[in-house]
């Protein structure tokens, strides 16, 4: 039997499901994303058991990691999907998720996306403005298909997270002002080809203080209760996602506190609830393996230069995010302080700064931990660099799940002009 997740074996080798990570890196090359289905199942079970006493469904937030195989795995566990583009919709279709289990969120749904979603009978649109409602109504009327509409409410709550992933404050682009919700919900009932299905809220990501969830959910429920008292149909509430992941110390959020909030508000309630976890399901299930190109020492600093870069993992650069970084092979070398940096021609191309780490020799491997969410999905070909290879570990076997374009294949996507 092996330990759950990524662990060190008896020889101090980083391993997953009985397989040495170094063997996988040698087999596939680096940079290399490795995802562990055992962790994915464990994270799903924790969330499912947290909400099982209320009438709720889990819709995996595809934006966290849009690998078709990862979507498919969560679908097999029972998840629907939360999407924000028609591209994500097509990935869900490829993964086998029925359209009637897909929620379409996001502020920028264009008319083509709306029509495609309508013709496929998605579960609902979470709309962000009255202007968006007008667009959906116009298209639904034209093609004579009824649109299920949920109003996303902006509760003006600042949940003490990074400003770039805080989505519940009135200054952000997300949601409908609380004071305008009743008027717009009344409008839903006056439009043919529109079916009002409820209200939703999503206040941000990386939230550890669950009091913010309690405040947002209570306000949403009170608003829905008021609408019902006024004679309106409000069958469901979408509670979004946002539970945080501890990247530094891997301390588990207190799911029992979250369960208490959910049960206090909704136990024996007839509201049908939707939950949209993303990061909390997939972040800890992934790592990024990189090889040391060389060590550089200056008068003031040590640099460990690796073959992964900000085009593979932009979170440290974009969000000042911390990822734990560990040696892959057995390593008893002395500790040094170093910046772990990539080959891209920017000072901002780093994975860690002033990090205490065992000295690693050239051609040895490092693993960037907790890299399953908002990592590969945000990659690019900046500096004409290829994507990282991605593999999935299923039942003690490794499977490559993403073809990586060579530089020749990347160039072939461009059309050369004759300037003669």
Minimum mean pLDDT among 142-156, 315-329, 394-408: which range?
142-156
pLDDT of residue 168: 44
Q: Which residues pair with 296 in a beta bridge?
A: 303
Give all domains of the chain, ordered by start, each with its CATH number.
6-36+283-412 (2.40.37.10), 38-281 (3.20.20.10)
pLDDT of residue 206: 84
Q: Are 164 and 138 in contact (CB under 8 A)?
A: no
pLDDT at residue 258 above 50? Answer: yes
- The count of residues in the chain is 420
pLDDT of residue 174: 61
Catalytic annotation, residues: 345
Q: Which of 238, 320, 253, 240 is nearest to 283 (CA)?
A: 253
Q: What is the mean pLDDT of residues 60-80?
A: 98
pLDDT at residue 324 above 50? Answer: yes
- Report the C-alpha gap between 119 and 82 in whole angstroms: 18
pLDDT at residue 201 above 60? Answer: yes
Q: Are 125 and 152 in contact (CB under 8 A)?
A: no
pLDDT at residue 267 above 80? Answer: yes
pLDDT at residue 312 above 50? Answer: yes
- Report the C-alpha gap between 42 and 3 in whole angstroms: 12
Tens-digit pLDDT profile for residues 12-21: 999 999 999 9
pLDDT range class, residue 73, cuts 50, 70, 90 = very high
Tens-digit pLDDT profile for residues 140-199: 999 999 999 999 887 656 554 545 444 545 555 566 887 888 899 999 999 999 999 999
Q: pLDDT higher for 213 or 283?
A: 283
Q: What is the mean pLDDT of residues 211-230?
A: 92
- On average, the pLDDT of the chain sits at 92
CB-based contacts of 180, cutoff 8 Å, min separation 6? 130
pLDDT of residue 171: 57
pLDDT of residue 178: 77
């Amino acid at each position: 039997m092996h330990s759950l997740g990524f662990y060190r074996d008896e020889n101090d080798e980083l391993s997953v499901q009985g397989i040495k990570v170094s063997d996988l890196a040698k087999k596939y090359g680096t940079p290399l994303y490795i995802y562990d289905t055992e962790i994915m199942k464990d994270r799903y079970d924790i969330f499912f058991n947290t909400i099982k006493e209320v009438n709720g469904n889990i819709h995996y937030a595809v934006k966290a990691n849009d690998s078709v195989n990862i979507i498919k795995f969560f679908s097999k566990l029972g998840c629907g999907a939360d999407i924000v583009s028609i591209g994500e919709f097509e990935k869900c279709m490829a993964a086998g998720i029925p359209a009637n289990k897909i929620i379409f969120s996001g502020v920028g749904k264009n008319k083509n996306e709306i029509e495609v979603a309508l013709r496929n009978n998605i579960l609902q649109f979470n709309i962000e403005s009255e202007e968006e409602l007008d667009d959906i109504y116009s298209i639904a009327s034209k093609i004579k298909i009824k649109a299920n509409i949920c109003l996303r409410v902006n509760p003006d709550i600042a949940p003490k997270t990074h400003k770039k992933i805080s989505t519940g404050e009135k200054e952000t682009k997300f949601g409908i002002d609380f004071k305008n919700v009743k008027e717009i919900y009344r409008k839903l009932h006056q439009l043919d080809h529109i079916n009002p299905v409820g209200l939703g809220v999503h206040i941000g990501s990386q939230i550890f203080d669950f009091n913010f969830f309690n405040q947002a959910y209570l306000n949403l429920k009170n608003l829905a209760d008021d609408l019902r008292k006024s004679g309106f149909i409000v069958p469901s509430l979408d509670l979004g996602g946002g539970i945080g992941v501890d990247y530094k110390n891997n301390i588990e959020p207190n799911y029992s506190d979250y369960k208490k909030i959910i049960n206090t508000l909704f136990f024996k309630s007839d509201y049908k609830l939707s939950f949209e976890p993303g990061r909390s399901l997939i972040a800890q299930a992934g790592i990024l393996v990189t090889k040391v190109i060389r060590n550089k020492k200056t008068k003031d600093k040590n640099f460990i230069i690796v073959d992964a870069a900000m085009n593979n993992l932009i979170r440290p650069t974009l969000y000042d995010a911390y990822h734990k970084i560990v040696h892959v092979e057995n390593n008893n070398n002395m500790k040094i302080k170093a910046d772990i940096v990539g080959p891209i021609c920017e000072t901002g191309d780093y994975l860690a700064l002033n990090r205490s780490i065992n000295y690693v020799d050239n051609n040895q491997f490092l693993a960037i931990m907790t890299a399953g969410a908002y990592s590969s999905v945000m990659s690019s070909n900046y500096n004409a660099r290829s994507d990282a290879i991605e593999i999935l570990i299923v039942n003690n076997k490794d499977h490559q799940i993403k073809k990586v374009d060579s530089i020749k294949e990347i160039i072939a996507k461009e059309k050369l002009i004759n300037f003669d």
